[in-house]
Structure 1
């Protein structure tokens, strides 16, 4: 009984470590990617101004990191509580990604800026969601 419990506990900790490492790596990649998309859009002439205030390119990376880490916490909780953690994570994060587009649509910004904001959300989601989901049990 003790061996089974120890093995199960080690496997859970190992899985949690792999999930965390993968989530942190995906967060870093997504943050760099969204800054790249924002910088490319700005270089192409798309304004990064919302409500008359410019969003710094680094702001894209910072917010991507913050919300990706929130997603990672969600994944950790679901890995422990949900019957089907991967399915629950993917469904939840897809809904949250769609909801994250709403502020972009209603933002006080030009159409190209709104589109660029939405693209950055989709780029981040396309990087983080699959990477983290692969580490969750089906």
Structure 2
């Protein structure tokens, strides 16, 4: 019983922090995309426009995937915080590859990459703080 009582608040704290960070990151990436577009950076990839709300939606989806990874690591990893940070940074770096090779202008690629980094800078620390060292 004691173990469950200790883990439930920790899990709840992790989930609440992760969902809050996901919401903030989603708004932030949409704002960065909108600001870039307002500054004249095209949001077209392969000739098709990326909707600003698409940035928020994909940020939310992949942030929640990261939160799921954190929850699994919290349960099964010996050092969940360090493992999560390593995995999340590696996945962030890998997420830049499609943007780098995309059929779009260099400024569009840079803006897309910036949104990935903004989301990671918000979500990774917020989730990692809730994981034990």
Q: Same fold (TM over 0.5)?
A: yes
Structure number with bigger Rg: 1
Is 2:70 the counterpart of 1:75?
Answer: yes
Is 2:110 the counterpart of 1:128?
Answer: no
Residue-pair matches, total: 133
Is 2:58 the counterpart of 1:63?
Answer: yes
Is 2:44 the counterpart of 1:49?
Answer: yes
SS of residue paired to 2:78: coil
Match of 1:10 among 5, 15, 19: 5
Deviation of 1:8 after TM superposition, in Å, equals 1.8
TM-score, length basis structure 1: 0.96
Distance 1:126 1:95 in 2: 13
Runs of 4+ in 1 over 4 A off after TM superposition: none
Distance 1:92 1:75 in 2: 9
Is 2:77 the counterpart of 1:86?
Answer: no
Distance 1:133 1:49 in 2: 34
Distance 2:79 2:8 in 1: 18
Deviation of 1:58 after TM superposition, in Å, equals 0.1
CA deviation vs aligned residue, 1:17-65 (integer Å, no higher than 9, x gap): 0000000000000000000000000000000000000000000000000
**What are the ranges of 5 or more consecutive residues in structure 2 without an aligned counterpart?**
none
Distance 1:25 1:11 in 2: 22
